Amino acid sequence: MTSRTPILTLTPGTVSLADLERVFRNECAVRLDAACRPAIERAHGRIAAAAAGDIAVYGVNTGFGKLASVKIAAEDTATLQRNLILSHCCGVGPAIPRAHARLMMVLKLLSLGRGASGVRLEVIDLLEAMLATGVTPVIPAQGSVGASGDLAPLSHMAAVMMGAAEAEFGGTVMSGAAALAAAGLTPIELGPKEGLALINGTQFSTAFGLAGLFGAWAAAQSALVTSALTTDAIMGSTAPLQPEIHALRGHRGQIEAGATLRALLEGSVIRESHREGDTRVQDPYCIRCQPQVVGAAMDVLRQAAQTLEIEANAATDNPLVLVGADLIVSGGNFHAEPVGFAADMIALAIAEIGAIAQRRIALIVDPVLSHDLPPFLTPNPGLNSGYMIAEVTTAALMSENKHLANPCVTDSTPTSANQEDHVSMAAHGARRLGQMLVNLERILGVELLCATQGVEFRAPLPTSVPLQRVMAKLRQTVPPLGDDRYTAPDIEAASALIISGEIARCSQIPMPELSA
């Protein structure tokens, strides 16, 4: 990180999806609005008083989970918190991406900033400083069941704050102590309840859910562009895009998808060439029902977005300090069921966007269905196979996403000696969205290749100006397919345009927005 690193000031409880996406994509440093600091201090004062008293308060002067009945002496509270963090550093598997780890840290800041966790301002300051200087904890991907918080991954974060575990700084992985020292920061000794405040909560699951949401929305926008190209390539009808059809049904996503497709195809000479005399009465569903399917997926993504935006602004550790009522109360806000449901919804949307795209690819390579395009879109079929196996690859990816889309939130299993007897599985439910997005982006990349090739076979008839821009963008890196060649790099290059969102942007057609 440098002095030019953008710093975003966030107010806990009111942070928008747009701000969260900015944090995720741009590695912003974050500070909490100073107005939240008095509430943080008041909650800490209540915890300090409880720690000095004789009454057992969970997480302050007791053991944890099944050991909550064990009272801890006041002189042992610092050791209690340190032991909690180190014993819970049980994550396994590869380290999560840096952007996800940083988003998780920001989400933890927002939760602590609600003034219900009881931590000192020094905890807030250290998290902000780590984000500003680029000290990023190494967080193993596996180990959370999304119930009593994302305990294992958040413990790896908290351990770095104590000078333990591992962190990445300046592109090098080193001990937490070394990373803090290199950044000019000092490890913190956790006080009463602070370790529990750091590791109780849904921030790991929510970070992955938000990353999946942002990627899925960008893919939905790209799918509108690739589907419009395919529609023109197979000389499909635009009659099903008539706005009155979608208004009569009333779903926002469908209405917006139909409008976007109309704008993308407006002015296509290919479309005008077959309005009269076309013997086909109706197109297959993968062409005719695009607004209904992608629009429905957009609506589902917006529902998930609402849940995740609320969760990102929530206080989710335990116990919570209710300053107004002068209470410290054990509850269950750490249970990630809302996040688990949201992740499953996003997974369904990703799978369905890919499923209908794959059917469009199958349509365009089939000369029986593609309205006289060459078999597998090669100018010399037989000697050449064209996009025959590229379509097979998309079938494999589509099938994999169907399996991955099975719900995770219903797969509860008891943990912690049956104290935590129902869990959300939100963590791996959200993590699996990353692989699903990679699969979807490659499906759409293959559709971009096939649809562009198909439209070029309609020459001299041109497609619309927005779609011509899209084709020109692809042709900057991938030439037309004449004789067969090594195809894998073409797929990766086309997929990169999907992943970056460049295909949707270069069309210069306004795309539906995730937020209202």
Q: What per-residue confidence (pLDDT) applies to 410?
A: 93
Q: What pLDDT band is residue 418 in, cutting at 50, 70 and 90?
A: confident
Rounded Cα distance between 474 and 449, Å, is 8
Rounded Cα distance between 364 and 377, Å, is 8
Please provide the distance, in angstroms rounded to a whole number, between the alpha carbons at the two ends of the chain.
33
Least trusted range by pLDDT, from 47-51, 397-401, 434-438, 466-470:
47-51
Higher pLDDT, 123 or 28: 123
Backbone torsions φ then ψ of 93, nearest 5 degrees? 90, 180
Contact 127, 187 (CB under 8 A): no
What's 58's DSSP letter? Answer: T
Backbone torsions φ then ψ of 421, nearest 5 degrees? -90, 0
Give the residue-averaged pLDDT of 423-448.
97
- The amino acid sitting at 326 is D
Residue 516 pLDDT more than 80? Answer: no
Q: Rounded to an integer, what is the distance from CA 342 to the centroid of its chain?
A: 11
Give the residue-averaged pLDDT of 265-284.
89
Q: 460 preceded by cis ω (within 30°)?
A: yes
Q: Which two tokens stand for residue 488?
A: 């894998």
Report angle CA 450, 452, 458 to the nearest 5 degrees: 105
Q: What per-residue confidence (pLDDT) applies to 62?
A: 77
Return the percentage of the chain with pLDDT > 90, whole number.
86
224 exposure class (CB count in 10 Å sphere: 0-12, 13-18, 19+)? buried
Long-range contacts of residues 502-507, Cβ cutoff 8 Å, at least 24 apart: 502/473, 503/222, 503/225, 503/226, 503/448, 503/470, 503/473, 503/474, 504/218, 504/221, 504/222, 504/224, 504/225, 506/469, 506/470, 506/473, 507/225, 507/264, 507/466, 507/467, 507/469, 507/470
Q: What per-residue confidence (pLDDT) applies to 59?
A: 76
Residues identified as active-site: 58
Q: What pLDDT band is residue 1 in, cutting at 50, 70 and 90?
A: low
Rounded Cα distance between 226 and 261, Å, is 10
Q: What per-residue confidence (pLDDT) applies to 404?
A: 98
